[in-house]
Structure 1
Amino acid sequence: MTDRVTDAATPRRRLAVALAGVLVLALVAGFGAFLFARSHHLGPWRLGAQEVNPFGQRPQYVDPQSRAAQAAAQATADGDTASAAVFERLAAIPAGIWLTPEQYPPGRVGAYVTEVVTAADAARNVPVLVVYGIPDRDCSGQYSSGGLSEEQYGPWVQEIATAAAAADRVAVVLEPDALAASIECHDEDQRVRLMKDAVGRLRTAGVTTYVDAGHSDWVPAAAVARLLERSGVGSVRGFATNVANYQTDDDERAYATRIAKLLGGAHYVIDSGRNGNGSTKNWCNPARRAVGTDPGFVDDGTGLDAFLWVKPPGESDGDCGGGPPAGEFWPQRALEMARLSGW
């Protein structure tokens, strides 16, 4: 009798042991998946837009409709193969996509941003959008003067933020020169108020944001840090330096390090598009400049997230030094920069 009971219980024990083994394996696999998800910031552990370096996960987006790409197509059509080759090489390097109300006014800018981020997502790239429409824009230089009224500005930024929020990854450089120039233009309070509102809209939409901080040969780091802090930079990813300027990488890194320390450790990006030969103290279309460090992700233990070409090389600073209006492609200068860069 005992033998028959033992024989009957054996399959049950084997089944129990097998089930226990499966359960242990499932628990181990589940715990491993949990650790992997948490360490790679997946699912509920995914980092927010301001907590992660967007350039560390995906390459930067190349705009197929950039002015350099258009210049390459025109040079090809004209039979100028040498120039076309230079412009094609330039067009293949990711650069900032500038949003101005003159080109993309209220009611239209959102559709354009949607077009850009949709294409970038499809390519698994990160687009860099440059928001440039603050009231009394370029008050210190005047070559890019314009912008929106105070009443229009907030809703225009909101339109950008809403469209950009649909992107998997996107980065915004907010208002080049706006804060640094406000000291010279004596409108700090107005600028800070408008910038703080714009920062809030972009943050709420979940858009990684870098607030412009001028450059190393302009306003002292302490003064810019105060303006950045008042504008809410602590609530977004960080700040940008050297946008559309020519200061060297070393000077900008030292300047940005000082600002970051004053802000308690903010992250930053540096525009290296046209600083290969440094600055001549002339910021508007100086001759004999060269392209700088290629755009790309930086992981060196500092606050530097990436080098960017925020201002696309080959585009004019304004109708100064023989150049066309600001933002227009200047073929002769682009070719000169390429030659001096050893292309």
Structure 2
Amino acid sequence: MTTAPAASRRRRSLPRWVWISIVAAALVIILAVIAAIGWTVTTGLSLLNAEPPGVGTTIVAPAESKASLAAESASEGTEEFAAAAYLAAAPTAYWLTPELDPIGDVGARVLNLANEARDQDAALAVVIYGLPERDCGQYSAGGLDDADYDTWTTEIGSALSSAGAADIQKIIILEPDSLALAPQCDNVNARMTQLHDAVDRLAGTNTWIYLDGGHSNWLPASEMASLIQQVDVSDAIRGFATNVSNYQPTYAEFEYAHQISDALGGSHAIVDTSRNGADQAESDWCNPSGQLIGAAGGAYGDDVVDTNLWVKPPGESDGECNGGPVAGAWWPESAVELTTNVVQ
């Protein structure tokens, strides 16, 4: 049998420059994997250690706000422009309603707001306002039926929990007036189910949910606490929000929040100070005259009140009362009056 020469049987070695290229490419891949793992671990730890809102919290000033849109259309140099521009720059919660952000669109809106919050190094605060029989047939009447409300809030929750919003602190004010109005509207049981299920759909990492807490000049604290307790979501929410869309003094709201918290065994609160700067609200809640914007968000807080925020956007009407347009519509005259203490 003829055998091949030894030289032809020997495995040929790759040139040295090829081995160097292979090793270099492998190192690049390894470093990329390590970087990706490190980012994931760091992000995961930051979310696990996410803190609730507190004094110093800044929320996004949405480009989609009605104040911002009004500033774009107002004539520069006018008092209407000055008021709208001031309010457009103020960190304020964005109200998600099915009328403006319907099913199929609301998720994209949430992600856009999250991007704005990231760009501004701010938290995202949204008010969810679309449950069935909203406002009990009053000025803000509307909302969705039960099936569509489920779909709508599921879309919101999915967007809030998606990668596009995962790194943002998210604050949810869930359905203002829904609990405080329930006894008057005789729909307490329906409200409990609607809010309980909505919380399930909205809860997520670094998401802080606050239920309707009325305000200090409405229901007694014990009754308000009982309504909150009946929603039966204490493990999934941060607490309750008071003075939303109202004008009660900050000191009265802090006292009220403490009373509710004590009745609940230690819950937390957000206080809306967007329009309580005049400190003279009393019982008139629908476009009362002589009001002023209140303290900027993140200014106050204690062991019960996480902080104050601007929840109701100043300049938007409470309804067709005291000369105002429909609820939620931009009202230039109101914006001017509310900002007379800060805009010359």
- The structure that is helix-richer by fraction is 1
Structure 1 residues 47 and 268, CA gap change in structure 2 (3 angstroms) = farther
Choose from 285, 290, 293 the match for 1:291. 293
SS at 2:173's partner residue?
A: strand
In structure 1, how many angstroms separate the alpha carbons of the residues matched to 2:77 and 2:46? Answer: 53
Structure 1 residues 186 and 341, CA gap change in structure 2 (3 angstroms) = farther
Q: Residue 160 in 1 paired to residue 156 in 2?
A: yes
Structure number with greater CO (CA < 8 Å, separation at least 6) is: 2
In structure 1, how many angstroms separate the alpha carbons of the residues matched to 2:44 and 2:334? Answer: 48
Q: Which amino acid aligns with 1:165?
A: S
In structure 1, how many angstroms separate the alpha carbons of the residues matched to 2:161 and 2:122? Answer: 15
Q: How is 1:168-317 mapped onto 2 (pairs within 5 angstroms)?
A: 168=167, 169-204=169-204, 207-235=207-235, 236-277=237-278, 278-296=280-298, 298-300=300-302, 302-317=303-318
In structure 2, how many angstroms separate the alpha carbons of the residues matched to 1:198 and 1:63? Answer: 24
In structure 2, how many angstroms separate the alpha carbons of the residues matched to 1:230 and 1:219? Answer: 16
Question: Which is worse superposed, 291-300 or 216-225?
Answer: 291-300
Q: Which residue matches 2:28?
A: none
Percent of pairs with identical residues? 41
- Corresponding residue pairs, total: 297
Once the two structures are TM-superposed, the CA of residue 81 in structure 1 deviates from its matched residue by: 3.6
Once the two structures are TM-superposed, the CA of residue 215 in structure 1 deviates from its matched residue by: 0.7
SS at 1:69's partner residue?
A: helix
Q: How is 1:1-343 mapped onto 2 (pairs within 5 angstroms)?
A: 44=45, 47=48, 52-55=51-54, 59-75=58-74, 78-139=75-136, 142-166=138-162, 167=165, 168=167, 169-204=169-204, 207-235=207-235, 236-277=237-278, 278-296=280-298, 298-300=300-302, 302-339=303-340
Once the two structures are TM-superposed, the CA of residue 307 in structure 1 deviates from its matched residue by: 0.8
SS at 1:158's partner residue?
A: helix
- CA RMSD of the aligned region, Å? 2.1
In structure 2, how many angstroms separate the alpha carbons of the residues matched to 1:303 and 1:178? Answer: 22
Structure 1 residues 42 and 57, CA gap change in structure 2 (3 angstroms) = farther
Q: Which amino acid aligns with 1:112?
A: R
Once the two structures are TM-superposed, the CA of residue 203 in structure 1 deviates from its matched residue by: 1.9
Once the two structures are TM-superposed, the CA of residue 262 in structure 1 deviates from its matched residue by: 1.2
Q: Which residue matches 2:17?
A: none
In structure 1, how many angstroms separate the alpha carbons of the residues matched to 2:45 and 2:205? Answer: 18
Once the two structures are TM-superposed, the CA of residue 46 in structure 1 deviates from its matched residue by: 5.1
SS at 2:340's partner residue?
A: helix
In structure 1, how many angstroms separate the alpha carbons of the residues matched to 2:57 and 2:256? Answer: 27
Once the two structures are TM-superposed, the CA of residue 272 in structure 1 deviates from its matched residue by: 0.6
Return the TM-score normalized by structure 2: 0.81
Q: Which amino acid aligns with 1:231?
A: V
Give per-residue Cα distances to partners, 1:63-113, cap 9 Å, x unaligned: 1231112222222xx344443222211211111100011111112111111
Give per-residue Cα distances to partners, 1:147-189, cap 9 Å, x unaligned: 0001111221111111112322111100000001001001100
In structure 1, how many angstroms separate the alpha carbons of the residues matched to 2:254 and 2:339? Answer: 24
Q: Which residue matches 1:38?
A: none
Q: Which amino acid aligns with 1:68?
A: A
Unaligned runs of 5+ residues in structure 1 are: 1-40
8 A contact 2:92–2:312 mirrored in 1: yes
In structure 1, how many angstroms separate the alpha carbons of the residues matched to 2:293 and 2:318? Answer: 15
Structure 1 residues 314 and 45, CA gap change in structure 2 (3 angstroms) = closer
SS at 1:119's partner residue?
A: helix
Q: Which amino acid aligns with 2:153?
A: V
Unaligned runs of 5+ residues in structure 2 are: 1-41
Return the TM-score normalized by structure 1: 0.81
In structure 1, how many angstroms separate the alpha carbons of the residues matched to 2:297 and 2:145? Answer: 34
Give per-residue Cα distances to partners, 1:288-336, cap 9 Å, x unaligned: 1111111115454x21111111001111001111111111110011111
8 A contact 2:62–2:94 mirrored in 1: yes
Q: Which amino acid aligns with 2:201?
A: R
Structure 1 residues 285 and 119, CA gap change in structure 2 (3 angstroms) = same
